[in-house]
Amino acid sequence: MNGTVLLLIIPVFILLFSALTVLNYENRANYDSMNSNNVISTFKDVKNNIPVITLDVLNESAYEVIEENMTIINSSEYVKEKVQERINKLSYDCDVNCTIKSIASYENDPFYIEVNSTITVQKDNIKHVENISQLVSIEGLPDPLPFTKCDSISHNMTCIEYHHGLVAYLGGVENGSFYENATSPFIIKKCPYEPYETHGSIPVMLDCIQNGYYHKSNDGACYLCRLEGRATCLHQGLETFIISYMLNNGSTIASIDHVIFNDLYEGQPFIINATYALFLDEAHQKKYGIK
Ligand SMILES: [Zn+2]
Ligand SMILES: [Zn+2]
């Protein structure tokens, strides 16, 4: 009788033991999968935060330049450090290490800033590491460049009003007074009229000017260099028109922003209508299809 009970008890123990092992294994698997979900969702959250924070830091930096009449030295390093500080303040229930490695003008399109970073997220034995590269559009950000060059100019959130500031900046150049009360765009917006030669048609040029669009340019400065007060740089950059309201047939410095704020070469008048005039040099006349 005792022998039979013992014989029955052994398989019961074996069954119980295996059931416990399976349960334990399942708990472990559930725990791992919970951790893994947590790690992945944290990674995604950090990743989604990087472009949002970068855009915000770029905007704040631009307003520092605009409102405090300062320029930023080594803007990509400056922006990178500020983005890193903000990223470090994010808090999660996983271990997160996010290093912003570089912030630079995107070489294929000056309307974007490229952010490179490494994100490491760990929870217990689950770890995820990824190097990522993200593009942040600069459209909608204000243009700090004119504020680094001219005193007593203002903006109404749409355009920059130079009052006498640009004439003063141009000093004694011939017919510099044509830029009395000139205006230029305040917010970066990409010109949709491509190829640029189509600007030779008056309605297109008028719409471009009224909307304050920016164009790709090999000579004009990129957004990060604009924060440093540079009108030209080695990167792919941007250019816009500075509009004159003097409908004079004389010629003066060409109205492209990087010409006014850097090279100072002459342009011929291009009178668009009873309100607006531009002065364009031969190369820019060709670029914008003006004959
Ligand atoms: Zn345009
Ligand atoms: Zn640049």
* 19 — pLDDT class (breaks 50, 70, 90): low
Taking the C-alpha atoms of residue 270 and residue 291, their distance in angstroms, rounded to an integer, is 10
Query: What's the gap in Å between 245 CA and the centre of ligand 2?
Result: 30
What is the reported pLDDT for 273?
87
Gap from CA of 81 to ligand 2 centroid (Å): 18
Sketch the domain layout of the chain as residue ranges: 2-137, 145-287
- pLDDT of 196 reads 98
Angle subtended at Cα 46 by Cα 44 and Cα 48, rounded to the nearest 5 degrees: 65
- What does pLDDT average to over the chain? 92
Distance 234 CA to ligand 2 centre (A): 6
Give the tokens for residue 189: 């917006």
pLDDT band for position 20 (cuts 50, 70, 90): low
Taking residues 114-141, report their average pLDDT.
97
Residues whose Cβ atom is located within 5 A of ion ligand 1: 191, 193, 208, 213
In this predicted model, what pLDDT tens digit does every residue of 237-266 receive, in sequence order? 999 999 998 777 889 999 999 999 998 999
Could you give the strand order of the β-sheet that contains 112-123, starting from the edge strand earlier in sequence? Answer: 95-105, 112-123, 126-137
The pLDDT value given to residue 291 = 84
Looking at residue 197, its pLDDT comes to: 97
Question: Which strand ranges, in their side-by-side order, compose the sheet holding 266-271?
Answer: 252-253, 266-271, 277-280
Q: How many angstroms separate the alpha carbon of residue 43 from the centre of ligand 1?
A: 40
Closest CA to 41 of 112, 102, 100, 128: 128
pLDDT of res. 246:
73
**Band of residue 31 on the pLDDT scale cut at 50, 70, 90:** confident
Distance CA 123, CA 127 (A): 7
Question: What distance in angstroms lies between residue 48's CA and the mean position of ligand 1's atoms?
Answer: 32
Q: What is the pLDDT, as a whole number, of residue 53?
A: 98
pTM of this structure: 0.90
